[in-house]
Structure formats: structure tokens, C-alpha cells
Amino acid sequence: MTREVLILVCSWILSLYLLLRYIPTESKRLAWITFIFVQSIAWIHEYIQLVFGLVEFPYREFNKATNMSFSLHYIVYPTIAVFFILFYPKEKGTRRTFLYYLLFSMGITTYSYLLEKFSSLYHYIHWNWFFGLITNMILLYVVKIYIFWFKKGLV
């Protein structure tokens, strides 16, 4: 088994375990809505990165079907975003909220950076850690706006 396959299998197992084990029953609907919404914007984000030649994915699960990475943007990142929404600090100060965004954005970006350095799952062409950090903060903000807007209808 290659390093890339091992990383993907571990990522899938860990993501599914976290989703099934640590999502409270009363939050499952919100978690799935978040998961599906993040999949859609992650696809757009990944597509834009590929069209502009910012990144490439040398090792892909479906290499004849697409140039995109399936597991990273459809399983791992949505799982992280679900926990971002579930533990979002409501009615806290601006500094704490900014640090919360920064922590999750740094986690996603560092994961991508480590994949880029130690595997063939990700390759930066005209991209770097800082661009990833900023775009992930923006994407998490968009997720928060949408989910909180959607949550008003669930109450």
C-alpha cells in the first residue's frame, strides 16, 4: 500500500469515526446540512484553484474522471467544518471568535501543507500556506453565515 493510499484510508476512517462518534443526536441535522454545504463550496474552491493553475493533485482517487481530489474536499474538509460549526463560540468577544477562525483555518491549511510536503496528494504551484490560511478563513466565514441563516429556519 502506498503512502497516499494509507493517508487517504486513515483520513476516511478518522473523519467517519469523528462524525459518527462525536456529533450529538440533536445536532445531526445541522451537521449533515453543514457537511453537504461545505462539499459544494469546497468543490467550487478546488475547481477555481485548478482552473487558475494554483494547485494540482498528482495522486487522485478517480484520475480518469477528474483532476480534483475527492477525499480531501469531500470528506476531510467538510468534517472539519462540521466541528467548526458545532463548537462555534456564540456571543463571545471578537478576539476569541477571530482566534477560533484562525485555529480552524490553520488546522486545515497545515494539513494541506503537510500533505503537499510529504505525499503526492497535493502540490502547490502558485499557492502557499498564507493564501490557504486566508481563503480557509473566508470559506469558514461563508459557511458560518449560511449555516446560521439556515438554522433560523430550523428553530
Helices (H), the chain: 3-22, 28-51, 70-71, 77-86, 94-118, 129-154
Length of the chain: 155
**What pLDDT does residue 1 have?**
64
Instruction: Check residue 128 and report its DSSP letter.
Output: -
Q: Which tens digits make up the pLDDT trace of 94-105?
A: 999 999 999 999
- HSE-CB at 48 with a 13 A cutoff on CA atoms is 8
Q: Which residues pair with 56 in a beta bridge?
A: 123
Number of domains into which the chain is organized: 1
Q: Which tens digits make up the pLDDT trace of 4-63?
A: 999 999 999 999 999 999 999 999 999 999 999 999 999 999 999 999 999 999 998 888
Average pLDDT, the chain: 93
Q: Is 21 a domain residue?
A: no
Q: Match 471568535 to its residue by C-alpha cell.
A: 97
**What pLDDT does residue 155 have?**
57
Q: Is 2 a domain residue?
A: no
126 lies in which domain range?
A: 28-144
Q: Is 154 a domain residue?
A: no
Angstrom distance (rounded) from CA 59 to CA 14: 20
Q: Which of 100, 78, 83 is nearest to 91 (CA)?
A: 100
Q: Is 75 a domain residue?
A: yes
Q: Is 104 a domain residue?
A: yes
Q: Is 114 a domain residue?
A: yes
Q: Is 152 a domain residue?
A: no
pTM here? 0.92
Query: For residues 91 and 94, which has the higher predicted lDDT (pLDDT)?
Result: 94
**What pLDDT does residue 31 have?**
96
Q: Is 16 a domain residue?
A: no
